[in-house]
Amino acid sequence: MIDFLATALIVLALVCAAWALLLAVLDKPLTLDTKLTLGIAGAVVLLEFGLLVQAVIGVVKLIGLDRDIASATFVGYLIGPVVVLPLAGFWAIAERSRWGAAVLVVGCLSVPVMIVRLQQIWAGHA
């Protein structure tokens, strides 16, 4: 679809996931008062913003599309990561142990999965 943005978002999501995994392994809760935890919060907010931009562009492109794709599923995968990431973020921050960071790993890893499915549907093989 928008290959450059999608690729950038996948890379950013994987960086966030690796970062969160590091925090979980180092047993650092998401306290938001250290450089490492504030940094990942910033990166996740940036990722969320990028996903929102992708959702808007995706819907606009879908409206102007002249071929047939699974549009309901497509919109689902556009909105999915936009909704899942903040839910995972808040659920993670409320936990004061390493398991909060582990929640963020799962939340961030779900993003590339959904973007890859999005691209498959856009390409026509749903």
Partner 1 sequence: MPDTRSGPGRLLIAVYGLFAVAATARSGVQIATRFAEAPVAYLLSAFAAVVYVVATVTLAVGSRTSRRVAWVSCAVELVGVVVVGAVSYLVPSWFPQATVWSHFGSGYLFIPLVLPVLGLLWLRRTAATAV
Q: Could you count the other beta carbons within 10 Å of the beta carbon of residue 33? A: 7
Other Cβ atoms within 10 Å of 63 Cβ, number:
8
Residue 92 within binding range of partner 1, rule CB under 8 A: yes
List CB contacts of 97: < 8 A, sequence separation 6 or more.
29
Among 97, 116, 123, 124, binds partner 1 (CB under 8 A): 97
- Using CB under 8 A, pick the residue from 76, 86, 119, 120 that binds partner 1: 76
Q: How many residues does the chain have?
A: 126
User: From CA 112, how far away is CA 12, in angstroms rounded?
Assistant: 9
Tell me which residues in 35-74 interact with partner 1 (CB under 8 A). Answer: 70, 72-73
Site membership for partner 1, residue 91 (CB under 8 A): yes
Least distance from partner 1 to the Cβ atom of residue 114, Å: 9
Residue type, 106: V
Interacting span for partner 1 (CB under 8 A) from 10-18, 49-57, 59-67, 94-102: 94-102
Shortest Cβ distance from residue 52 to partner 1 (Å)?
18
